[in-house]
Structure 1
Amino acid sequence: MKIEQCRAARALLGWSSAELAQAAGLGPVTVRRFESGQAVQQISIDTMRTALEAAGVVFIQDGETSRRAGVGVRLAD
């Protein structure tokens, strides 16, 4: 998951960084550190992504389903 995808996913859900942290079982500082480009453990990134996916977010990777071949997010149907 890229930083931009995390921010966009939170925006789609209307979640604050604290709400994502709570859903992922992480500290709010971890989410803020990740979104500001600071180093966080991969397991924390995976946990955030899992929480966002559980809430209905679908992640789009480079060249996958996107006509412009950019990364992105959308809500599940």
Structure 2
Amino acid sequence: MSDKLISPEQCRMARAGLGLTGEQVAERARVSKVTLSDFEKCKRSTHPRTVGAIRAALENAGVEFLEDNGGGAGVRLKRKPSDAIIALEDLNAENDN
């Protein structure tokens, strides 16, 4: 589990990017749906361990969290092996998608 926290906005962006419901993320993070919802809506303070569990669940599902580098913190989907870039000289009938 990561020791770095994520923001509620990053959580919502990650969940949307993955196409996961709050219920699915809560189940994967082993937290209640209400806890996840309250975190995303900034309704109450969420324990760092809980935020870490949510982050780990989203990372395991396929996102990377980007730290603020002056342009704001963000989220991106991890590249899948099938998304690998093939050099032009390596293109052939077998890998022509």
Identity of matched residues, %: 40
Corresponding residue of 1:43: 49
Correspondence for 1:75 among 52, 74, 77: 77
Other-structure match for 2:83: none
Structure 1 unaligned blocks of 5 or more: none
Is the partner of 2:72 in helix, strand or coil?
coil
C-alpha separation in 1, matches of 2:74 and 2:38? 20
With the length of structure 1 as denominator, give the TM-score of the two structures: 0.89
Aligned pair count reads 73
1:73 aligned counterpart, secondary structure: strand
Quote the RMSD (CA, aligned, Å). 1.0
